[in-house]
Structure 1
Amino acid sequence: MEGFAIYLFIMGEIVDCYLNRNISPIERIRMATTGYFFLYLWRFHIETLSQKYPNFISIKQNFLANQSFAIFTSLCESMVLLVKAHRDYYPQIPFLPWLHGSESCEHFFGIARQINPDFAELIQMLPKISQYTKALRNKKLSFDKERSPNDKQISETIHHSHCLARDLAEYAGMIQPSNISIDINASRIFIESHEIDISSSSINEQSHDNEEEYDLTSAIKQEPSDDFIEIRSQLDEIAQPPDNLYTLNGGDSVNLSCQYLSYDKLDFEFLYNQRKIHEAYCSKPLERKFKIVGTNSRITEGSSAIQSNMASHFVAYFTKNENPEQRFVTQREKRWKDNRKNIAMALAQLHVQELAKSRKSKKLNKKIVKENLIEIPNIVTANITEEFPLSKRDYVFVRYGSQVCIGQVEALYFEAYNHHCYADKPIKDLNDISYISLHVFVPLHLDLFTDIVKEGCYILTHHIPSNIVYHIKQNSVVIEGNFLKLVGNEKHFYFDYFGRKDIIEKMVE
């Protein structure tokens, strides 16, 4: 869970370095570049493990999608470029990074849908939308103007961010590169000048925009005044702009004393407070409310308000039927479940045959011989039943390639509404889960296992449960430090059976 908390912190910082309206540009650079370096360190860790342990770790299963990685790193790089571009080319223009996105476009269509859900009449709605958005921007903005951050301050911030990212990665147990592939010393980012004068062209475009706005304003005056009153009333229920916004020139100091680790321990309270400060849109609700128009006068004004966001969730909940008998099963899911079932049935049948043969030979041999095979129950269900459900912190025999290891369950997930949801209750059927996260112990010698690999890190896997072999009891293992030892039947019979070469070949087929 500590690694998950770090992941949420980094992703929140990357998003809010654009959306937060109250932090300085140098702080935005620190947030963005910390996430930038952490993502590259995380990718290096996964790539290193996937090359040395391909049966356990893969980029596809244990890292972001290539598209997501490219988007996040591009956002981080763009933040530095935006700060330098505003400083060098637009020093008199407020630095508002939350406008460098698709949010304005999304609000445009959201406002249009409030007025009329039929987009075929979009042209007729333009005057109202223009007045609506213009009214949102009529608040006076107060700016704190100071010096712009120079290249030295930006470079110091980038180096500091690199140290913060390495601290987080090291605490999470990631493999650290001897030298990161990114040249952080070359932090000077130059913006090439183009032949077209941006300032003059923007002035010309602005004059055309003013003419178009005048035409829209004249068209707005022809609309009924009731619409304007309704729009004004809606503005009071929508997010109010903050009292003061920082421009590029606000907050030029570089705080190099910021540390995430305290005495080699992660300060989660500090991370929480940082996210609380940087969190965007946390001070007020943005849900739209509509009033029911009806003849029933007994309905009070408070009870007649509809929260559209909540209504959308209800509609999505009931339209996506999650009846197990009616839920659509993908071919991929059906394939791995059928394959696991066939393998389990083949192993169970083979075990019954071997057990019968062993008992028969024991009867023929009158001498007392040491029993080397006992009945292993519930092989078909991987020993996951109503009497012995699978839950967090339990142990399982799990196969990776041609090797049988022991995995400790870190998390269980089930599929619902086209998403993988965390399961906090014990699982009584292996087919009920869609993904399983395991802390893997690899064989060291005979019945001795370890969770530390040569590189000095743990192996944590997130995979579909197709490679789960058998569920064992918690009192069947003894853990001392980073070593795990099997005891009881799990030591003498179960692991010896599932670890046999011919049994593994049966599972691999």
Structure 2
Amino acid sequence: RDVDKLDRQDDRAAARLFSAASIQHAIECGHSGLAIFLFIFGEACDAYQSRTISHTQRIHMVLLAFFFKLIWKQFLTENRYPIARHFLSQDADNILDILVNGLLALIIIHRDHLDPFPLLPWTHGTEVNEHIFGLLRSTLPEFTIVDALQMIPKLDVRLLAACRRKIDAASLQRGGAGYAHTHFDSSGAALDTLSYFPPQEVIEQVAHLAWTEANAIWEVLG
């Protein structure tokens, strides 16, 4: 169901794409380029979604993806390969830039203006809107703005239930299951870790490390 007759709103399928099992399968099939692609850009997603890693690690993860993308695009340009064919789509390219700049901005703003309040990156996104949209679709697949307004009381009840419901890890294995958000799941979140924001000199060191690693990974691809 992740390929045939797929549900384009299946969040579980998107999560499985970047899983360790998918990367391992790509390696075993000899698709090292695909494995590296899934690892690097999966890390960028995890930089927002992880509840446990430090903000220093998050910076490293998004910068690694950003620098890898930069090297990739520069290689295509220098060798006159068509970017439209061999690179990310323009939309994906722009979205990744927004994700990288957005996370860096959130960390710096919290460090300089909101310290010591913890930063919870997974709460800064469109998941809540998507969750509401999914609830509306489950009630009335083809709804109008009038229908949405009339369903607000019912949405309030279902959103409260979603806040209190524990996410079943086993349910993430289901295929073609539509929306599946973890926005309300803060289990394992270490608030002390999420309240520490690296100083500028540490960010610069992490950026240098990410650049070095991105170049090393590109060398592996030949």
Q: Judge same fold: TM > 0.5, yes or no.
A: yes
Whole-Å separation in 1 of the counterparts to 2:49 and 2:151: 28
Whole-Å separation in 2 of the counterparts to 1:17 and 1:90: 20
Whole-Å separation in 2 of the counterparts to 1:92 and 1:42: 38
Q: What CA deviation, in whole Å up to 9, does each residue of 1:32-52 have, x standing for no partner? A: 0000100000111111110xx
Any residues of structure 2 matched to 1:425-464 within 5 Å, and which? none
SS at match of 1:72: helix
Find 1:20's aligned residue among 40, 47, 50.
50
Calculate percent identity across the aligned residue pairs.
32
Alpha carbons 2:107, 2:197 under 8 Å: kept: no
Partner of residue 22, structure 2: none
**Is it true that 1:49 corresponds to 2:75 in the alignment?**
no
Partner of residue 147, structure 2: 121
Deviation at 1:11, TM superposition (A): 1.6
Whole-Å separation in 2 of the counterparts to 1:143 and 1:9: 24
**Is it true that 1:78 corresponds to 2:102 in the alignment?**
yes
Find 1:107's aligned residue among 131, 140, 154.
131
SS at match of 2:191: coil
Partner of residue 66, structure 1: 90
Distance of aligned partners of 1:150 and 1:35 in 2 relative to their CA distance in 1, 3 Å threshold:
same
Whole-Å separation in 1 of the counterparts to 2:126 and 2:191: 27
TM-score, normalised to structure 1, is: 0.31
Alpha carbons 2:118, 2:192 under 8 Å: kept: no
Find 1:133's aligned residue among 140, 145, 159.
159
Whole-Å separation in 2 of the counterparts to 1:171 and 1:7: 12
Look up the equivalent residue of 1:18 and give its one-letter code: Y
Higher relative contact order (CA 8 A, sep 6+): 2
What is the root-mean-square deviation of aligned Cα atoms in Å? Answer: 2.3
**Is it true that 1:96 corresponds to 2:120 in the alignment?**
yes
Whole-Å separation in 2 of the counterparts to 1:143 and 1:11: 24
Distance of aligned partners of 1:133 and 1:89 in 2 relative to their CA distance in 1, 3 Å threshold:
farther
SS at match of 1:145: helix
Unaligned runs of 5+ in 1: 51-56, 174-509
Distance of aligned partners of 1:152 and 1:61 in 2 relative to their CA distance in 1, 3 Å threshold:
same
The count of residues paired between Structure 1 and Structure 2 equals 167
SS at match of 1:64: coil
Partner of residue 155, structure 1: 204
Bigger share in helix:
2
Look up the equivalent residue of 1:164 and give its one-letter code: E
Whole-Å separation in 2 of the counterparts to 1:73 and 1:169: 19
Partner of residue 388, structure 1: none
Whole-Å separation in 1 of the counterparts to 2:186 and 2:123: 17
Deviation at 1:66, TM superposition (A): 2.9
Deviation at 1:140, TM superposition (A): 8.1
Alpha carbons 2:64, 2:214 under 8 Å: kept: yes
Find 2:215's aligned residue among 159, 166, 172.
166
TM-score, normalised to structure 2, is: 0.67
Whole-Å separation in 2 of the counterparts to 1:88 and 1:135: 36
Whole-Å separation in 2 of the counterparts to 1:154 and 1:63: 28
Distance of aligned partners of 1:129 and 1:91 in 2 relative to their CA distance in 1, 3 Å threshold:
farther
Unaligned runs of 5+ in 2: 1-30, 165-184
Q: What CA deviation, in whole Å up to 9, does each residue of 1:388-408 have, x standing for no partner? A: xxxxxxxxxxxxxxxxxxxxx
